[in-house]
Amino acid sequence: MSKHVLKPLFSLVALLGLLALCLGVSTTAVAQTERIVPKAENFLFFVDHSGSMAMSAPSESKSSLAARHDPNKQEKIEVTKEVLKAINNDIPDITFTAGLYTYGPFQEYIGPSPYAKDRLNQGFDGLKTQYDIFGRLTPMGLGLKSLDAVVGSLSQRRAVILVTDGESNIGPKPLPVVQDMYAKYGDNICFHVISFAQTAAEKALVEQIAAINPCTVSADVKDLLDDGKRADFVRKVFYDVEIIPAAPVVQPAPPAPVEEVIVFRNVNFDFDKYNIKPEFAPLLKEAAEIIKARPGKRVVVDGHTCNIGPAVYNMGLSERRASSVRSFLVNEGVPADRITTQGFGLTQPRFDNNTREGRSLNRRVEIRFE
Amino acid sequence: MIAVLLLAVPLPSAASGFDTLPASSQTIYVEQQFALFSQNWIEKIDRNFHSRIGNVEFVNNGAGYVGRYMQVDRDSVAWSVKQTSIGPGNFIGILEYTEWTYESVADTQTAAALGPFVPVHGRKVTEIFQYHANRWLE
């Protein structure tokens, strides 16, 4: 006897692989990805460009008699430009509105516009150094009031990165101006500080500004010359890192259970018949051989009917059909204690009882292996 | 007549198994008939399932909706013809196939209908058919 398939057979390995792919899946581990989210929609750099910033950067000396200005050292404004460009370089690829302003005098170098690294660097490059400091006082409070007009023109969250040496020696005091701006804009504004403060008074002003709102990130300019500390500053000022759970990693679930069953529909199970005619003996003999080839398995013979006729009568009919098949199988040598029978009547239609085809398919006996 | 029929119907391809006896012309004809009968029978099974594609069954199980349908795995279909010991020309046809029950679970029937449907239960079915009076009996 030749066994035929309607389509080419797969190798066993390929078939198992295909089965694994076709079967249902279950989720197990969840991979994660990160997303950078800006902390504000608007970042304004506000740089002290007064006479004090043209003096040398803070020395390492703790002595109160140490010179405030050493012509052999870099000016604060020169260090400012260097640090701001390094910060600009550290800012990741995020979208926000950027601006660059100074005070002492108040001047717009870059008006609020979409952030572009090169453009901001050009703005920093444009900050003059080695300028005449005579009469160039530090109006921080007045500068902040002028900046308020710019801040007010922006929508959503604003961050002001204030570069200051802690001096404010003309005009309104800066602390009340900052407090007023926090009161005006609430959670939509935060002042950050890059400090050149040296004296106790200068440091006190910086600390007072930082203390108004816990959102403030404050850093000493010397620290921002360190790559790691600067990266940390940028991370705290400019963005948050969100963890996004990725799509669950799916793995093949255990294979769905497969039961084995022999089905008879045509052993003369016409309407209201349960006896087996002799010409159908070869079918049941074949079934007996299949059963005997599986000696370890118990066998259940289930009888089913279509939905024509009363339910009670169909139940009895299905039991009689199952019993007829069992008797034949036992006569063919299948041990009687291996076979049990069940009648289901019309209660388990596998096929559509609304069609003649479906009803004929429902009139069946199934031999299940357990 | 048989020769004409042999030319009209292409021989089925054998993918496995072995021949113990040389196949007679009649056996080939009967096999060809069973090949066609098997194809038609599988089509009949598929279009008459109580729950099938085009008539998916939805059940509210209290926690949501389960969509369910059954379908024959066409790649699983295999058939063979055996000559029985009772008289010459007596044949039985053995048709094997796997039925899969597919289910989709969701909060609403509409969502369940969208799937995905995954196989939850399979039945490896063996049907045995009788050849009588030059035809296969359903």
Domain ranges of chain A: 35-59+68-247, 259-369
Nearest CA-CA partner of A284 in A321, A318, A314: A321
**Which chain A residues have a beta carbon less than 8 Å from that of B82?**
1, 286
Concatenating the DSSP letter of every residue in B96-138 gives EEEEEEEEEEESSHHHHHT---EEEEEEEEEEEEEEETTEE--
Cα–Cα distance for residue pair B4/B13, rounded to 1 Å: 19
Q: A272-321: per-residue pLDDT in tens?
A: 666 777 778 888 999 999 999 998 899 999 999 989 889 999 999 899 88
State whether A286 and B74 contact (CB < 8 Å): no
Q: Is residue B9 over pLDDT 90?
A: no
Which of B78, B126, B138 is opposite residue A262, by nearest beta carbon? B126
Q: Which residue of chain A is at minimal alpha-carbon distance from B36?
A: A6
CATH code of the region A259-369: 3.30.1330.60
For residues A107 and B87, the model is more confident at A107
User: Is the pLDDT assigned to residue A268 strictly greater than 60?
Assistant: no
Instruction: Report residue A2's pLDDT band, with 50, 70 and 90 as the boundaries.
Output: low
Q: List beta partners, residue B124.
A: A260, B98
According to CATH, the topology of domain A35-59+68-247 is: Rossmann fold (3.40.50)
Domain ranges of chain B: 24-136
The single-letter DSSP state of residue A295 is T
Q: Which residues of B touch A351 (CB under 8 A)?
A: 45, 48-50
Cβ distance of B128 and A286 shorter than 8 Å = yes
Can you tell me the mean pLDDT for A11-38? 53
Nearest-CA distance B86 → chain A (Å): 8
Peptide bond into A172 cis (omega under 30): no
pLDDT at site A27: 43
Tell me: pLDDT of A128 over 90: yes
CB neighbours of residue A328 within 10 Å: 20
Token duo for residue A79: 């260090």
Are the folds of A35-59+68-247 and A259-369 the same? no
- B74 pLDDT tier (thresholds 50, 70, 90): very high
Average confidence score pLDDT of chain A: 85
Peptide bond before A335: cis, by omega within 30 degrees of 0?
no
- Say what percent of chain A tops pLDDT 90: 62
A23, A281, A351 member nearest B119 (Cβ): A23
Q: Which residue has the tokens 């009031």?
A: A145
Number of H helices, E strands in chain B: 3, 6
Determine if the pTM surpasses 0.80. Answer: no
Enumerate helices (H) and strands (E) in chain A, giving the number of each.
10, 13
Is the Cβ pair B12, A4 closer than 8 Å? yes
Measured CA to CA, the distance from residue A254 to residue A24 in angstroms comes to 8
Cβ-Cβ contacts under 8 Å, B28 against chain A: none
Band of residue A14 on the pLDDT scale cut at 50, 70, 90: very low
